[in-house]
């Protein structure tokens, strides 16, 4: 109950942030204007619309997640509201989890709103409902779950600016999974070691980029559902690892 | 937190992390499968492409985009390139390669499942080049590409000449600093000469070759050790000689050869001037027998011919081509052609099927947007041993061939101006040596007039879907077809 | 009475990363706060007051020493349900309404409905917050209203012990007085109040006991009335015979006479009876015997200056 109360308060607080609302409005406008960008590419306007929509959701989701993740705990310290919370019968882990969940709810609300607009635009443009695109939006959300947990973990010891670069940097490195995977077979032992470390130890954000399949019908994946479920499990388990680390670090944090 | 709790949490991390690694190992094959296919145009763009322009680094971003587009090109994902082409030309309107490559993709690389180009994009390709040319005034490169595309893809030789002429006489090349200080390369003049040949304007072409040769002679004089310049000059000599030889062998008796007022039989390779040399004479009775057969075949009186006497022009007498074709739809939207054409192997017949009211559109501004409802198919078949034709399957590409119109024109054409020199040797540059009992059509609006072969059917949608057969009753007058097409076509550029 | 807060040798040191020197924010502090008293914790800015409170609440961790709050070691979650805290210059969640803010804090105390609404209402009434402001967002609140909300959130769990850090700083005189009144009322209800302040008149009026801390060290502790009690008495009298003034002067050292009224400005308490007897024996009439009282401010300044001087 305490965790949820903190999560609810965090969600409400984040939803009042103008920067996040502006991001959401810009993203929704870009998605809604997507059909007019079809002129950029003949024959494949539907593919452009789909990839543009997913890219906008990813980009906006990324900014929203990072801005939320790096802020939720430092803001409490900066405004000293954390004193009023932690002086009450609230365990520190409840605080960390509440803040994470609140941030996650925020990202969910934002990504879901963009996703609904996106599906609506597709429905209007193509005349049919495209449930497989909801899959893409869902993957983005789980990607953001993992990224949010990472940002929360960093925020237990790093300043928001440092955290911003750390989270973004690891997001980019973690997106290179196809590169690191090919390096796993490299002849050079050192390269192979580094690649293995990056590939397995750094959150592998590249796993979630299934846009290719969603945009190009010719890309066929056997057992797509297994793939999706494994990705969700990956996001949740890795997020749990990060949150446990965050809790351990935050437990000794002086506020 | 109690130290024991902390220890338990740290221990819990171990199995969780093992689970993460195991999951990753299971996810990897899926990701590999996922990336086998083509790439997506926008998702492949990372933040630098979006942040860059905001920071005033348009050219840098345009360059990055272009590198990315190149990757797509190597992956064969042409569709992904076009948005980038548009973005790069917006960001950096002075990148000539982007217009040229983009137009090339548009005109050549969109194909149906039988590798036939989607010609509905040709006006867009042309407009993109024209936009690029307007954005880069004075540079020859894009005008040259316009000339080339009109020659090679569109076969609009009038328009090709228009652009090459502008290119040769009004444009300059850019130096390392991007300033227009360099004369256009000699190959611009070469293409100008070739385009004049395609228009049947042989004497003008010869003049251009001479002009080019004079320029190259001067260049070689300035820099005698530059072998590439020598090579260029030698090829100009060769081309001048070849054109003159062809002109004389095709259209005149040997005795009439005269260049610059001198009777001659060949060209001096060093001066480019005519010199007396070997004659084009009948050398054997076999030669004479073949020529005599030609006259009897077309029912013309045989002139006197003997060994050692000059040959008559190659295009005499006129050759009966017996051009014809029987089109049948053997399945819905699958056309089977059985054609005949009395011509040497390798001559190519153009087949075109389009909506009755389709005309080459004239775009006011560049757009990728085309009328997707238009059906426009064009193909070419080679003649072998007097016959040609095969199946044309339009059933697999409903996007390209929607067959939304009620009526269609089905056109079969042979244009001597676009054919190989060895066929032109008999037919002449403008079909002077060619005749056909049924399908000869003289394009008298051209100067000089061009004699082409053209058979036109006007068919209905029902016939495409085999509810009625195509018969000779559907044949449509070629002159009327030309008039209809010309009505809506833009007037050809001046000169 | 049992100790509500008991501190033994509490020390907090920080390392200054620039000068590599150790800063002792709180230095070997020992202190007891009795249950039911309003305890004043005095010190200049940076004396270590807030650091001490944050250690007591488990927000930061002591370098050395121990403390118990309500009989349990610091950081105990059960204890936290029975105490509350108003931080210095607290900022609350600006977008929330006063009511929602209290609702949030009440949830952190695991107080469920309908009790939660009852408590919120009572707390808002206790701090005299205008009911029209209850449903307005905090960003529109004045400083005084914010401070009231701050105290209201500290009352929401009906705590046995309140830590108030500079609750009255930066307020206008009326708000100041009202807030002081609220704190006095809290104290009257038998709650223990740990009041950290440098607003000495407030402390003097509200606190029964005070401690003075300077540069992390405890300088003085004691009952407020004892600390401020004077060691001299002033006597004013009229009449008496002619030799009286001289006789009083011999005992008290000084006696002023002005328009018939006589004043003995500084009398040692043990001499009061002798002088009164002297006056009455000479037919004089004692108008007033006034004990000299010092203000807490005087005590504070004197204590701190003495420490700084040494």
What percent of chain B clears pLDDT 90, i.e. is strictly above it?
A: 53
Query: Which chain B residues touch A244 with a CB distance below 8 Å?
Result: 9, 12-13, 16
Question: Among B377-391, C78-92, C129-143, C244-258, whose mean pLDDT is lowest?
Answer: C244-258
Q: Say yes or no to pLDDT of A8 above 90.
A: yes
Name the most confidently modeled range: A140-144, A210-214, B358-362, C35-39: A140-144
Of A200, A204, A208, nearest in space to A143 by CA? A208
Q: Say yes or no to pLDDT of C95 above 60.
A: yes
A215 in reach of chain B (CB within 8 A): yes
Note the helical H segments in B171-258. Answer: 186-198, 202-222, 227-251
Q: Which two tokens stand for residue B483?
A: 């008039």
Q: Report how far residue C264's alpha carbon sits from residue C248's, in angstroms, rounded to the nearest whole number.
A: 8
Query: Which chain A residues touch B4 with a CB distance below 8 Å?
Result: none
Asked if the Cβ–Cβ distance from A83 to C96 is below 8 Å, we say: no
A143 in reach of chain B (CB within 8 A): no
Tell me which residue in C87, C110, C157 faces A83 most closely, judged by beta carbons: C87
Q: Say yes or no to pLDDT of B106 above 50.
A: yes
Q: By the 8 A CB rule, do B151 and B157 touch?
A: yes
Mapped to the 3 state alphabet, what secondary structure does C246-288 carry?
HHHHHHHCCCEEECCEEEEEEECHHHHHHHHHHHHHCCEEEEE
Q: Report how far residue A82's alpha carbon sits from residue B252's, in angstroms, rounded to the nearest whole number.
A: 103
Q: By the 8 A CB rule, do B135 and B94 touch?
A: yes
For residue B332, which phi and psi values (nearest 5 degrees)? -55, 125
Q: By the 8 A CB rule, do C10 and C30 touch?
A: yes
Best C25, C85, C108 member to test A by mutation, with max A CBs in 10 Å, is C108
Average pLDDT value for residue range B169-196: 89
Of B94, B180, B102, B192, nearest in space to B144 by CA? B192
Tell me which residue in A222, A226, A241 faces B16 most closely, judged by beta carbons: A241
- Give me the pLDDT at residue A218, please: 60
Residues 33-92 of B with CB under 8 A from A: 33-43, 45-47, 50, 79-80, 82-83, 86-87
- Give me the pLDDT at residue B280, please: 59
Which band of pLDDT confidence, cut at 50, 70 and 90, is reported for residue A47?
Answer: low
Element (H, E) at A167: helix A160-174
B399 in reach of chain A (CB within 8 A): yes
Any chains having at least 3 CB pairs less than 8 A from chain A are B, C
Asked if the Cβ–Cβ distance from B27 to A59 is below 8 Å, we say: no
B4 in reach of chain A (CB within 8 A): no
- Give me the pLDDT at residue B81, please: 79
Query: Which chain B residues touch A245 with a CB distance below 8 Å?
Result: 13
Q: By the 8 A CB rule, do B368 and B440 touch?
A: no
Asked if the Cβ–Cβ distance from C85 to A254 is below 8 Å, we say: no
Q: Map residue A77 onto helix, strand or coil.
A: helix
Across the A:C interface, residue pairs with CB atoms under 8 Å apart total: 75
Q: Report how far residue B39's alpha carbon sits from residue C123's, in angstroms, rounded to the nearest whole number.
A: 62
Name the most confidently modeled range: A169-183, A229-243, C156-170: A229-243
Average pLDDT value for residue range B450-472: 96
Asked if the Cβ–Cβ distance from A42 to B50 is below 8 Å, we say: no
Asked if the Cβ–Cβ distance from A89 to C61 is below 8 Å, we say: no
Any chains having at least 3 CB pairs less than 8 A from chain B are A
Best C61, C93, C116 member to test A by mutation, with max A CBs in 10 Å, is C93
**What is chain C's length?**
310
Element (H, E) at B451: strand B450-460
Task: Name residues whose C-beta falls within 8 Å of residue A105's C-beta, 6 or more positions apart in sequence.
Answer: A7, A8, A10, A11
B369 in reach of chain A (CB within 8 A): yes
pLDDT, greater one: B135 or B252: B135
Q: Map residue C76 onto helix, strand or coil.
A: coil
Question: Among B16-25, B372-381, C12-21, whose mean pLDDT is lowest?
Answer: C12-21
Question: Among B64-73, B200-209, B293-302, whose mean pLDDT is lowest?
Answer: B64-73
Q: How far is CA B190 from CA B206, B217, B238, B306, in A?
A: 11, 15, 12, 39
Tell me which residue in B31, B106, B368 faces A181 most closely, judged by beta carbons: B31
Q: Which two tokens stand for residue A123?
A: 């429905």
Average pLDDT value for residue range A107-111: 96
Which band of pLDDT confidence, cut at 50, 70 and 90, is reported for residue B283?
Answer: confident
Any chains having at least 3 CB pairs less than 8 A from chain C are A
Of B349, B407, B358, B414, nearest in space to B123 by CA? B358
Name the most confidently modeled range: A86-95, B21-30, B100-109, B481-490: A86-95
Q: Report how far residue A141's alpha carbon sits from residue C213's, in angstroms, rounded to the nearest whole number.
A: 53
Asked if the Cβ–Cβ distance from B79 to A216 is below 8 Å, we say: no
Phi-psi map region of C115: left, alpha, beta (phi>0 left; psi -120 to 50 alpha): alpha
The reported pTM is 0.66
Q: Say yes or no to pLDDT of A70 above 50.
A: yes
Residues 131-190 of C with CB under 8 A from A: 153, 157, 163
Asked if the Cβ–Cβ distance from A241 to B1 is below 8 Å, we say: no
Asked if the Cβ–Cβ distance from C60 to A86 is below 8 Å, we say: no
Q: Say yes or no to pLDDT of B270 above 80.
A: no
Asked if the Cβ–Cβ distance from B36 to A219 is below 8 Å, we say: yes
Tell me which residue in B23, B38, B121 faces A234 most closely, judged by beta carbons: B23
pLDDT, greater one: C90 or C280: C280
Asked if the Cβ–Cβ distance from A212 to B37 is below 8 Å, we say: yes
Q: Report how far residue A52's alpha carbon sits from residue A60's, in angstroms, rounded to the nearest whole number.
A: 12
- Give me the pLDDT at residue B314, please: 83
Residues 160-199 of A with CB under 8 A from B: 172, 177-178, 181, 199
Element (H, E) at B485: helix B478-488
Q: Report how far residue B13's alpha carbon sits from residue B19's, in angstroms, rounded to the nearest whole number.
A: 10
Asked if the Cβ–Cβ distance from A248 to B30 is below 8 Å, we say: no
Q: How far is CA A92 from CA A99, A254, B5, B173, C66, in A?
A: 11, 11, 13, 72, 21
What percent of chain C clears pLDDT 70, i.e. is strictly above it?
A: 99
Q: Say yes or no to pLDDT of B276 above 50.
A: no
Q: Could you read off the pLDDT of C102-122 as tens digits, one per residue?
A: 999 999 999 998 999 999 999
- Give me the pLDDT at residue C168, please: 82
Question: Among B27-41, B219-233, C260-274, whose mean pLDDT is lowest?
Answer: B27-41
Q: Say yes or no to pLDDT of B126 above 80.
A: yes
Q: Say yes or no to pLDDT of A156 above 60.
A: yes
A66 in reach of chain B (CB within 8 A): no
- Give me the pLDDT at residue A216, please: 64
Asked if the Cβ–Cβ distance from B41 to A181 is below 8 Å, we say: no
Q: Say yes or no to pLDDT of A118 above 70.
A: yes
B365 in reach of chain A (CB within 8 A): no
Q: Which chain A residue's Cα is nearest to B105?
A: A42
């Amino acid at each position: 109950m305490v965790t949820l109360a903190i999560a609810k308060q965090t969600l409400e607080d984040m939803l009042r942030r103008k920067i996040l609302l502006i991001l959401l409005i810009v993203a929704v406008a870009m998605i809604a204007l997507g059909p007019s960008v079809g002129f950029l590419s003949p024959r494949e306007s539907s593919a452009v619309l789909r990839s543009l929509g997913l890219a906008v959701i990813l980009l906006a989701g990324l900014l929203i997640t990072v801005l939320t993740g790096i802020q939720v705990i430092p803001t409490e310290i900066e405004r000293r509201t954390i004193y009023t919370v932690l002086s009450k019968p609230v365990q520190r882990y409840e605080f960390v989890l509440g803040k994470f969940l609140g941030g996650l709810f925020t990202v969910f609300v934002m990504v879901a709103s963009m996703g609904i607009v996106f599906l609506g635009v597709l429905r209007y443009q193509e005349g049919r409902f495209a449930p497989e695109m909801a899959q893409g939006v869902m993957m983005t959300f789980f990607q953001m779950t993992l990224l949010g947990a990472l940002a929360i973990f960093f925020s237990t010891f790093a300043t928001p600016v440092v955290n911003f670069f750390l989270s973004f940097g690891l997001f980019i490195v973690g997106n290179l999974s196809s590169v690191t995977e090919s390096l796993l077979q490299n002849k050079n032992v050192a390269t192979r070691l580094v690649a293995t470390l990056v590939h397995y130890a750094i959150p592998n954000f590249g796993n979630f980029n299934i846009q290719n399949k969603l945009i190009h019908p010719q890309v066929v994946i056997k057992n797509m559902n297994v793939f999706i479920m494994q990705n969700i499990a990956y996001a949740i388990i890795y997020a749990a690892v990060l949150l446990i680390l965050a809790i351990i670090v935050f437990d000794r944090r002086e506020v | 937190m109690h130290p024991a709790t902390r220890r338990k949490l740290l221990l819990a991390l171990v199995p969780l992390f093992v689970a993460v690694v195991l999951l990753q190992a299971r996810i990897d094959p899926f990701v590999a499968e996922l990336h086998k296919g083509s790439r997506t145009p926008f998702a492949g763009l990372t933040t630098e492409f979006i942040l860059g322009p905001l920071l005033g680094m348009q050219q840098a971003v345009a360059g990055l985009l272009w590198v990315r587009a190149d990757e797509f090109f190597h992956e064969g994902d042409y569709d992904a390139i076009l948005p980038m082409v548009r973005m790069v030309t917006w960001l950096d309107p002075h990148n000539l390669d982007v217009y040229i490559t983009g137009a090339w993709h548009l005109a050549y690389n969109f194909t149906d499942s039988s590798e036939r180009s989607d010609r509905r994009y040709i006006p867009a390709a042309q407009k993109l080049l024209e936009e690029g040319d307007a954005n880069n005034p004075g540079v020859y490169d894009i005008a040259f590409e316009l000339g080339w595309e009109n020659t090679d893809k569109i076969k609009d030789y009038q328009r090709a000449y228009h652009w090459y002429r502008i290119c040769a006489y009004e444009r300059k090349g850019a130096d390392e600093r991007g300033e227009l200080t360099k004369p256009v390369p000699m190959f611009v003049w070469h293409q100008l000469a070739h385009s004049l040949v395609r228009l049947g304007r042989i004497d003008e072409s010869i003049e251009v070759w001479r002009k080019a040769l004079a320029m190259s002679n001067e260049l070689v004089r300035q820099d005698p050790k530059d072998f590439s310049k020598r090579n260029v000059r030698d090829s100009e000599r060769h081309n001048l000689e070849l054109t003159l030889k062809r002109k004389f062998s095709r259209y005149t008796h040997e005795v009439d050869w005269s260049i610059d007022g001198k009777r001659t039989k060949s060209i001096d390779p060093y001066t480019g001037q005519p010199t007396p040399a070997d004659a084009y004479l009948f050398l054997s009775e076999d030669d004479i027998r073949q020529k005599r057969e030609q006259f009897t075949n077309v029912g013309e009186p045989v002139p006197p011919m003997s060994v050692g006497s000059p040959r008559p022009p190659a295009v005499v007498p006129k050759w009966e081509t017996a051009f014809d074709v029987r089109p049948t739809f053997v399945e819905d939207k699958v056309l089977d052609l059985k054609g005949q054409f009395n011509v040497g192997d390798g001559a190519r017949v153009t087949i075109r099927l389009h909506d009755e009211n389709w005309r080459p559109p004239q775009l006011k501004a560049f757009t990728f947007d085309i009328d997707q409802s238009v059906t426009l198919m064009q193909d070419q078949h080679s003649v072998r041993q007097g016959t040609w034709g095969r199946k044309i399957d339009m059933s697999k590409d409903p996007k390209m061939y929607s067959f939304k119109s009620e009526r269609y024109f089905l056109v079969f054409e042979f244009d001597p101006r676009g054919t190989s020199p060895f066929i032109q040797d008999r037919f002449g540059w403008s079909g002077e040596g060619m005749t056909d009992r049924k399908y000869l059509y003289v394009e008298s609006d051209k100067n000089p007039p061009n004699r082409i072969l053209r058979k036109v059917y006007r068919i209905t949608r029902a016939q495409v879907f085999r509810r009625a057969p195509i018969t000779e009753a559907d044949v449509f007058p070629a002159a009327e077809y030309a008039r209809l097409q010309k009505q809506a076509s833009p007037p050809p550029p001046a000169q | 009475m049992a100790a509500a807060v008991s501190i033994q040798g509490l020390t907090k040191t920080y390392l200054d990363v620039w000068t590599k020197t150790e800063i002792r924010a709180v230095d070997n502090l020992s202190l007891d706060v009795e249950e039911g008293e309003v305890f004043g914790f005095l010190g200049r800015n940076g004396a270590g007051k807030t650091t001490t409170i944050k250690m007591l609440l488990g927000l930061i961790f002591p370098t050395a020493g121990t403390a118990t709050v309500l009989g349990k070691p610091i950081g105990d979650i059960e204890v936290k349900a029975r105490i509350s805290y108003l931080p210095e210059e607290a900022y609350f969640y600006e977008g929330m309404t006063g009511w929602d803010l209290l609702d949030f804090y009440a949830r952190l105390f695991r107080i469920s409905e309908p009790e939660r609404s009852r408590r919120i209402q009572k707390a808002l009434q206790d701090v005299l917050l205008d009911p029209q402001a209850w449903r307005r967002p905090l960003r529109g609140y004045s400083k005084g209203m914010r401070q009231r909300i701050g105290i209201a959130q500290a009352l929401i769990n009906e705590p046995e012990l309140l830590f108030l850090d500079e609750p009255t700083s930066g307020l206008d005189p009326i708000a100041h007085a009202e807030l002081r009144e609220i704190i006095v009322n809290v104290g009257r209800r038998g709650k223990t109040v740990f009041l950290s302040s440098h607003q000495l008149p407030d402390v003097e009026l509200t606190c029964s006991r005070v401690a003075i801390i300077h540069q992390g060290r405890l300088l003085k502790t004691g009952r407020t009335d004892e600390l401020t009690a004077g060691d001299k008495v002033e006597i004013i009298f009229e009449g008496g015979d002619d030799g009286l003034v001289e006789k009083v002067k011999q005992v008290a050292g000084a006696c002023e006479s002005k328009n018939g009224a006589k004043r003995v400005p500084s009398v040692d308490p043990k001499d009061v009876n002798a002088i009164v007897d002297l006056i009455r024996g000479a037919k004089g009439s004692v108008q007033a015997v006034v004990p000299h009282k010092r203000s807490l401010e005087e005590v504070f300044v004197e204590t701190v200056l003495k420490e700084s001087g040494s």
